[in-house]
Structure 1
Amino acid sequence: MTRIGIILGSTRPGRRGEQVARWVLDAAARRGDAEFDLIDLRAHPLPHLDEAVPPMFGPSEHAHTRAWAERIAPFDGFVIVTPEYNGGIPGVLKNALDHLFEQWNDKAVGFVSYGAGGGARAVVQLRSVCSALGLADVGYQVAVSVVTDFENHTTFVPGEHHAVALAKTLDQLLAWSTALAPLRSATTLVTS
């Protein structure tokens, strides 16, 4: 069965992303057409990129990076749940992406963003970063407003339009993850 990791891309105290990520996980788990797992960056503290050798050129010398690679490698695709901080993605998310290379290759990625403007500028940056890592980004996305989609600015209350957008994003993500499977198999055979 296709395995999708839902990456919670913020470690900030008081983050709103945990509610959004759990909503994504709950909706995805009801589908029954893939396995979904929440990956919280708080559980994977990585120092600012501390590898002497770029990830594309060899295995890591550090246990924390090897553990991160083992966590990411089994997945066929990802949903990245990201806030927009000052017009971009959180540094901790960029750092987590930068710690690996081959573990991202030939997999699909979709985005659920949140911010005053729905986190749209963060997704623009993520599309570029993910492309450089060999991830295929799907066109659909979910953009959550911290102004209108949180009751009393604290409790996430997704509208029906968000559920529709999430379903389309997941449909496309699963289709692309399945379509990319032969490329991942070919890479596994070559590196084995």
Structure 2
Amino acid sequence: MKIGVIIGSTRPGRIGDRVARWVQQQAVEYASDSADFELVDLQDYQLPLLDEPVPAGRAPGRQPHTRRWSECIDSCDAFIFVTPEYNSAPPASLTNAINFLHREWGGKPVAYVGYGIYGAVMAVQKLRAQAGVLRMADIGPQVALTLREDFVNFTDFQPRELHVAAVHGLVDELLAWALALAPLRTALVS
């Protein structure tokens, strides 16, 4: 199985890449015999603001960046979204990347690692609603990292030990769902 660990922020000076690398490291150390955990950095895809003339739910995208993004997401069996929270919402970069596609998300479970003043709980809540529309399996566990307790001076990422066990639990559930949904993913592609 291939799990995409998606870095949701493209902001200059972001800390999401450090959080995502930590999540990936914890997942690999815990479950590398069960899955490959691949970092997916939205910065590498340079997705403009919805430049496809037809919505993704009606037709596949035609732009080269859309096709490349589609291939990346299509190749994954499940996802961990690593997201900050801006004004009680996920960053526009993550929402835009999700909206570029439709079919590619279906039948795949998604888990969340959020970071912000209150652990990005509101941002994740909005992503959960979006996942349902896309026929993703929104699993329950969320790792909520707070800027006050898991970062020094709000920027130097130093997660508390309790979050390691939380990532392990998240990975266990994500892999169980990904395995259970494999026949559905196959049916959706056919």
Fold in common (TM above 0.5): yes
Task: State whether residues 106 and 188 of structure 2, in contact with CA within 8 Å, keep that contact through their aligned partners in structure 1.
Answer: no
Aligned with 2:103: secondary structure?
coil
Alignment of 1:161-172 (within 5 A): 161-172=162-173
- Letter matched to residue 64 of structure 2: A
Q: Deviations over 1:42-101 (max 9, x none)?
A: 101111111111112122121111111011101000000000001101001000000000
Report which stretch shifted further, 143-152 or 18-27.
Answer: 143-152
Q: Offset at 1:154?
A: 2.3
Of all paired residues, the percent bearing the same amino acid is 47
Task: State whether residues 3 and 38 of structure 2, in contact with CA within 8 Å, keep that contact through their aligned partners in structure 1.
Answer: yes
Q: Distance in 2 between matches of 1:49 and 1:132?
A: 18
Alignment of 1:60-99 (within 5 A): 60-99=61-100
Q: Offset at 1:151?
A: 2.1
Structure 2's unaligned 5+ residue stretches are none
Q: Distance in 1 between matches of 2:124 and 2:64?
A: 30
Q: Distance in 2 between matches of 1:137 and 1:163?
A: 21
* TM-score of the two chains, using structure 2 as the length reference: 0.96
Alignment partner, residue 40 of structure 1 = 41
Alignment partner, residue 183 of structure 1 = 184
Alignment partner, residue 106 of structure 2 = 105
Q: Distance in 1 between matches of 2:155 and 2:57?
A: 40
Alignment of 1:138-177 (within 5 A): 138-177=139-178
Runs of 4+ residues deviating >3 angstroms: none
- Letter matched to residue 60 of structure 1: G
- Letter matched to residue 83 of structure 1: P
Q: Offset at 1:141?
A: 0.7
Cα RMSD (Å): 0.9
Structure 1's unaligned 5+ residue stretches are none
Is the aligned partner of 1:24 residue 2:16?
A: no
Q: Distance in 2 between matches of 1:80 and 1:44?
A: 16
Alignment partner, residue 129 of structure 1 = 130
Q: Distance in 2 between matches of 1:119 and 1:168?
A: 19
- Letter matched to residue 89 of structure 2: G
Aligned with 2:89: secondary structure?
coil
Alignment partner, residue 5 of structure 2 = 6
Alignment partner, residue 50 of structure 1 = 51
Aligned with 1:103: secondary structure?
helix
Q: Distance in 2 between matches of 1:58 and 1:74?
A: 19
Q: Distance in 1 between matches of 2:20 and 2:106?
A: 23
Q: Offset at 1:158?
A: 1.1
